Amino acid sequence: MNLPSKHLEKAVEQIATLPGIGKKTALKLAISLLKRNSEEVEAFVEAIYTMKHHSKFCKTCYNISDNEICEICSNSKRNKLQVCVVEDMKNVLSFEATGIYSGVYHVLGGLISPLDGIGPNDLTISSLVERVKNENVEEVILALSTTMEGDATNYYIYNRLKQYDVKISVLSRGVAIGDDLEYIDEVTLGKSLMNRLPFENAIAG
């Protein structure tokens, strides 16, 4: 793509590094920014800078937060004995949108994927095990995508936790195999959560 300005070209290249953004879309976005006044562009840049440098990962669940402990973990009305394990913060938003879950979360930061060079030590699995050991957790809900990577991660976590006195559940298969939870509608996700199964039953099935 030959552009009339090196500055525009550099902006397009950077925008195109974002997930799901191709060069044509990146060019469209860059031109849109170029047409805005300086105050709007500066506000846009400041918002991204502030997000990057001031957002934190909750020390308990690893969700994105403005504080050391996120609003969900610090909410006294949430059931701290029930932990829903998810891949990333987008999944937290999905479950919160159902309006039926009152427990807390644990964000792994990804899934085990040897092909992508991601192993158990690259995720927050050890921290999850420590939570179960030290916080008297009664139930861990494995709410990962029903993909090969999601199933492998579920099984690994199950093997790490089965020695402890904790119920380990998994979403019912109302979520189709191969589905990414990010794209499941709220009603289906809510039903899968309510109809969750003991992990041992899911293996047997």
Q: Model's pTM, two decimal places?
A: 0.84
pLDDT in tens, 29-39: 999 999 999 99
Q: Taking 60 as the threshold, does the pLDDT of residue 205 lie above it?
A: no
Asked if domains 6-54 and 64-204 share a fold, the reply is no
Q: In 3D, which of 70, 20, 28 has the Cα closest to residue 12? A: 28
pLDDT at 178: 43
Q: What is the pLDDT of residues 114-149, one digit of tens each?
A: 988 999 999 999 999 999 999 999 999 999 988 899
CATH for the stretch 6-54: 1.10.8.420
Task: Centre a 10 Å sphere on the Cβ of residue 89 and count the other Cβ atoms it contains.
Answer: 19
| Tokens matching residue 11 | 């902006």
Residue range 70-98, pLDDT digits in tens: 999 999 999 999 999 999 999 999 999 99
118: which DSSP letter? B
Using CA atoms in the order 22, 93, 45, 37, what is the torsion angle rounded to 10 degrees? 80
CA–CA dist 44, 50 (Å, integer): 10
Q: What top-level class would CATH report for the domain 64-204?
A: alpha beta
Distance CA 103, CA 96 (A): 10
User: 60-64, 174-178, 184-188 — which one is most confidently predicted on average?
Assistant: 60-64
| Extents of the domains making up the chain | 6-54, 64-204
